[in-house]
């Protein structure tokens, strides 16, 4: 079997499959970290993206004390979330791996994720990646012990630039969609005054779609802003934001928010 195909097959094994093979929660976490540390093994960004989404969904759904009657994963008195974030491999290896995921998956429109036959909603992928990074960066052990090493990695500089670029892109997207909603509202109001209801439903449908998109983009922006806040408030990682490219993007972001 081709090595790349083998890695994709392994990464596609969810927690339930591994449990049936006799592996528990800790083994699955170690396996997930190993896969995310080896992004170069995957030809398609959709595979690690799905793995991140699986991790995020598991943590979100099970972020409560485990019931002893829920099977082999329930033999602990701690929450699944606590077990995950107290894992040393998660604290030391996963932060850098997640930066690689963030930088390797082009999160702009028209990416492989959008075009794959087994594609995922792009906003969901983006949100899952950013949310897991935020949760990792919020851990005291990661901030105290992993951040100093993280900030020395060439990947960190790439990550900070991409983070700022994505924020600028999404702020522009928000402003455009908000402008579309306002135009639709004004157009509908004018039509109502004139008694012209032709194509009202089409316009309303477009407006509601833009409103929903605004909500999804805004949730993503909030998470990314929280990641940014953690980094610029922590000694050792804030320096990466004061280099030429990031400062230039930051100025554009602030200007866009003020104008919006």
Residue 54 in this model has a pLDDT that exceeds 50: yes
Residue 66 in this model has a pLDDT that exceeds 80: no
85-119, pLDDT tens digit by residue?
888 888 888 998 898 888 876 643 434 444 444 45
Per-residue model confidence (pLDDT) at position 133: 92
Residues 54 and 29 sit within 8 Å (Cβ to Cβ): no
User: Predicted confidence band at 179 (pLDDT cuts at 50, 70, 90)?
Assistant: very high
Per-residue model confidence (pLDDT) at position 216: 86
Taking residues 21-28, report their average pLDDT.
66
Alpha helices of the chain — where are they, by DSSP H? Answer: 3-11, 15-20, 25-36, 46-61, 80-85, 88-92, 94-104, 112-115, 122-137, 140-141, 147-150, 154-194, 200-232, 244-259
Residues above pLDDT 70, as percent of the chain: 65
The 10 Å Cβ neighbour count of residue 118 is 9
pTM of the model: 0.74
User: Can you tell me the distance from the alpha carbon of 36 to that of 52, in angstroms, rounded to the nearest whole number?
Assistant: 8
pLDDT averaged over every residue in the chain: 74
Which among 9, 38, 12 has a CA at the least distance from the CA of 100?
Answer: 38
Per-residue model confidence (pLDDT) at position 182: 92
Beta-bridge partner residues of 65: 79
Taking the chain, what is the end-to-end CA distance rounded to the nearest angstrom? 53
130-175, pLDDT tens digit by residue?
999 999 999 888 888 888 888 888 888 888 888 888 888 888 888 8
In this structure, the chain runs to a length of 260
Q: Report the b/e string of 119-156 with b at 16+ CB within 10 A.
A: ebebbbbbbbbbbbbbbbbebeebbeebbeebbeeebb
User: Can you tell me the distance from the alpha carbon of 106 to that of 126, in angstroms, rounded to the nearest whole number?
Assistant: 10
């Amino acid at each position: 079997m081709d090595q790349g195909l083998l890695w994709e097959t392994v990464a596609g094994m969810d927690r339930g499959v591994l449990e049936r093979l006799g592996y528990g929660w800790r083994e699955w976490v170690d396996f997930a970290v190993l896969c995310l540390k080896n992004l170069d093994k995957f030809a398609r960004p959709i595979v690690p993206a799905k793995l991140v989404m699986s991790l995020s969904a598991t943590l979100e759904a099970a972020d409560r004390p485990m019931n002893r009657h829920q099977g082999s994963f329930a033999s602990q008195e701690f929450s699944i979330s606590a077990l995950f974030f107290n894992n040393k491999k998660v604290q030391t290896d996963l932060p850098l791996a997640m930066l690689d995921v963030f930088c390797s998956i082009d999160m702009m429109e028209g990416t492989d994720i959008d075009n794959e036959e087994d594609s995922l909603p792009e906003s969901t992928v983006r949100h899952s990646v950013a949310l897991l990074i935020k949760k990792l960066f919020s851990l005291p052990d990661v901030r105290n012990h992993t951040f100093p090493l993280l900030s020395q990695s060439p990947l960190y500089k790439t990550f900070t630039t991409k983070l700022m670029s994505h924020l600028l892109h999404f702020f522009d997207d928000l402003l455009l969609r908000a402008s579309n909603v306002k135009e639709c509202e004004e157009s509908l109001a004018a039509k109502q005054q004139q008694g012209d209801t032709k194509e009202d439903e089409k316009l309303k449908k477009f407006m509601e779609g833009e409103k929903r998109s605004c909500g999804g983009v805004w949730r993503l922006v909030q998470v990314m802003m929280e990641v940014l806040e953690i980094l610029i408030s922590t000694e050792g990682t804030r320096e990466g934001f004061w280099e030429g490219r990031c400062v230039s993007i930051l100025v554009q972001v602030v200007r866009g928010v003020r104008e919006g």
